[in-house]
């Protein structure tokens, strides 16, 4: 009889321990804040796939509304679509950029300090590709006004 009580007490203790290990962290976690690019501006650093190493990125400012993506270097905007999944999002932006027809396929994540994005970019007209990364900066501005050929275009 004592053995049976000891086994039952052990199982109850094990159940409570498992409940605390699994349940308490779920209760204590802060709710996830969905990430979105809408109504944000990012400092964007873009590396050209057609440039030779070392790949020195150029600076751009990418700003978003709920339905559009705009690039400061291009002075142009195009449609934006975004899908949430948990605390992150996947988005796609299409910017005409003077006929280069840029296609951004990207992810967005709210970090502990700032929201960040990482993108694969294709210049559909010239068959070019780029890597881009950005960090949210509502005051992003270009140091100089773009003149001449776009850095998104082949030399």
Q: What is the mean pLDDT of each run of 10 residues along the chain (155 residues)?
A: 51 46 48 77 95 89 96 96 89 96 94 90 96 94 78 93
pLDDT of amino acid 25: 46
pLDDT of amino acid 33: 59
**Is 112 inside a domain boundary?**
yes
**Is 36 inside a domain boundary?**
no
Cα 63 versus chain centre, distance: 13
Q: How many residues does the chain have?
A: 155
Residue with tokens 């978003």: 64
pLDDT of amino acid 21: 46
Q: For the whole prediction, is pTM greater than 0.85?
A: no
pLDDT of amino acid 79: 98
Q: Residue 102 has which token pair?
A: 């840029």
pLDDT of amino acid 131: 96
**Is 9 inside a domain boundary?**
no
pLDDT of amino acid 17: 46
What's the number of domains the chain is made of?
A: 1
Cα 15 versus chain centre, distance: 40
**Is 34 inside a domain boundary?**
no
Q: Residue 70 maps to which CATH number? A: 2.40.128
- Which residue, among 81, 82, 86, 73, has the nearest Cα to 123 in the 3D structure? 73
pLDDT of amino acid 55: 81
What range does the domain containing 114 cover?
41-136
pLDDT of amino acid 149: 87
């Amino acid at each position: 009889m004592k053995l049976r009580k000891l086994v039952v007490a052990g199982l109850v203790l094990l159940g409570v321990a498992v409940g605390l290990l699994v349940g308490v962290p779920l209760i204590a976690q802060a709710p996830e804040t969905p990430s979105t690019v809408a109504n944000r501006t990012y400092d964007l650093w873009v590396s050209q796939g057609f440039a030779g190493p070392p790949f020195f990125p150029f600076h751009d400012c990418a700003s978003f509304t709920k339905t559009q993506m705009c690039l400061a270097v291009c002075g142009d905007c195009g449609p934006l679509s975004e899908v949430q999944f948990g605390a992150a999002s996947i988005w796609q932006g299409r910017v005409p950029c003077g006929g280069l027809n840029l296609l951004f396929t990207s992810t967005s994540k709210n970090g502990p300090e700032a929201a960040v994005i990482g993108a694969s970019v294709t210049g559909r007209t010239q068959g070019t590709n780029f890597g881009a990364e950005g960090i949210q900066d509502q005051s992003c501005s270009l140091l100089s006004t773009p003149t001449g050929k776009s850095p998104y275009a082949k030399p």
